[in-house]
Structure 1
Amino acid sequence: MSDSHGLVREVAQVVGRHKIDKILHCGDFCVDHTRDPFSKMTLVRGNCDTTKAVPTEQQTKWNDLHILQTHGHLFGVKSSLLRLHYRAEETGANVVIFGHSHVPVCGVERDVLFLNPGSLQMPRGFDVPTYAILEQTGVTSTAVQVSVSFYDHLGSPVKSLGGKYSLRR
């Protein structure tokens, strides 16, 4: 999830709604990061977050995925994903999760998944607040298959977003 901008009760509802292994928040949480449910998440600091205790970038290895997580403001994601793509190449990431634009995005470029879950507080370019769930569904010697499902803030699936993708291993 990303860009919850001070929401606590709503974030806790999202966290409690699904059985998941990891929760990644892509910044602009705008609350005390030691408070539940944020203390249980892998967080990155967004441009509206003030704590220096939270890094601006995280790299997470999960199953066969190497995830690069950032807010996106330091990479100019509102105008282009090029700098973020370069960073993915530098780190060897096959998944890049970011926020900042508040626009839900999901697509593969050069075998790397770029995923912006949208915003739980102030959606842009979409009618409702959104978040996403990433699931590894298969693996071969050269590729990882994943499924991305988007949900609105009430937990209803958003069928027009997401899909099934094959990524580099």
Structure 2
Amino acid sequence: MRIGVLSDSHGNIVNLQDAVIKLNQLNVDAIFHLGDYVRDAQKIKVWCHKPVYSIKGNCDINASTGLSFARIKFNNKIVFATHGHLFNVKQDLDALYYTAVQKGADIVLFGHTHRKLLMKKNDILIMNPGSLIGGRYSEAPSYGYIEISNDNISGKLFELNSDN
């Protein structure tokens, strides 16, 4: 199972489409858009005919589509996805992590900070793919990829305009 992870597109459709093209080349089975702007996630369905899970961010308060969070099972692994603002992720990851533990998550996906993060904490993979518009901290536009194979979970972060 291969999962693409996008966040904080903020209406940058060019970068969004470029990232979806790259994820299609990785043969993803599903894509998460972690908010800001959730309406951009609707466009993903045009470029990728796989399930798209759209999460509302702090800029999506009046959006009629999207979820505040999602808990989805893939290959017997549970993904907990949220934008992050409801868990104060700019301060620390404690509230997000303990909610993920409570929900039995194996993988936690969040955005909001515009900063890439990939780490494991007590066997839970935690990923923030960064932002498709680039970070507020001189980070390039980025996205993420997760692979679930048997009992193994791995993740990778990519800069959008690089060749890796």
TM bucket normalised to smaller:
0.7 to 0.9
Task: Kindly indicate whether the alpha-carbon contact (under 8 Å) linking 1:14 and 1:155 is maintained by their aligned counterparts in 2.
Answer: no
Question: Distance in 2 between the 1:61 and 1:101 partners?
Answer: 25
Matched residue, 1:153: 160
2:49 pairs with 1:37: no
Deviations 1:62-91 (A, max 9, x none): 113200000000000001111001110121
2:132 pairs with 1:84: no
| 1:126 Cα offset (Å) | 5.0
Matched residue, 1:101: 113
| 1:9 Cα offset (Å) | 2.7
Matched residue, 2:85: 73
| 1:120 Cα offset (Å) | 0.7
Question: Distance in 1 between the 2:17 and 2:137 partners?
Answer: 24
Deviates further, 120-129 or 59-68: 120-129
Give the alignment's Cα RMSD to 1 decimal. 1.9
Task: Kindly indicate whether the alpha-carbon contact (under 8 Å) linking 1:7 and 1:29 is maintained by their aligned counterparts in 2.
Answer: no
Matched residue, 2:135: 123
Find the residue that maps to 2:81 and give its secondary structure: strand
Alignment: residue pair count: 151
Matched residue, 2:29: 21
| 1:32 Cα offset (Å) | 5.6
Task: Kindly indicate whether the alpha-carbon contact (under 8 Å) linking 1:102 and 1:119 is maintained by their aligned counterparts in 2.
Answer: yes
Find the residue that maps to 2:56 and give its secondary structure: coil
Question: Distance in 1 between the 2:147 and 2:159 partners?
Answer: 17
Q: Which has the higher helix share?
A: 2
Question: Distance in 1 between the 2:33 and 2:141 partners?
Answer: 15
TM-score, structure 1 length as denominator? Answer: 0.81
Question: Distance in 2 between the 1:114 and 1:126 partners?
Answer: 22
Structure 1 unaligned regions, length at least 5: 140-144, 158-169
Letter in 1 for 2:145: I
Deviations 1:101-140 (A, max 9, x none): 010001111111110000011313453111010012342x
Deviates further, 129-138 or 101-110: 129-138
Higher relative contact order (CA 8 A, sep 6+): 2
Letter in 2 for 1:93: A
Letter in 1 for 2:43: D
Match of 2:15 among 10, 32, 43: 10
Structure 2 unaligned regions, length at least 5: 1-5
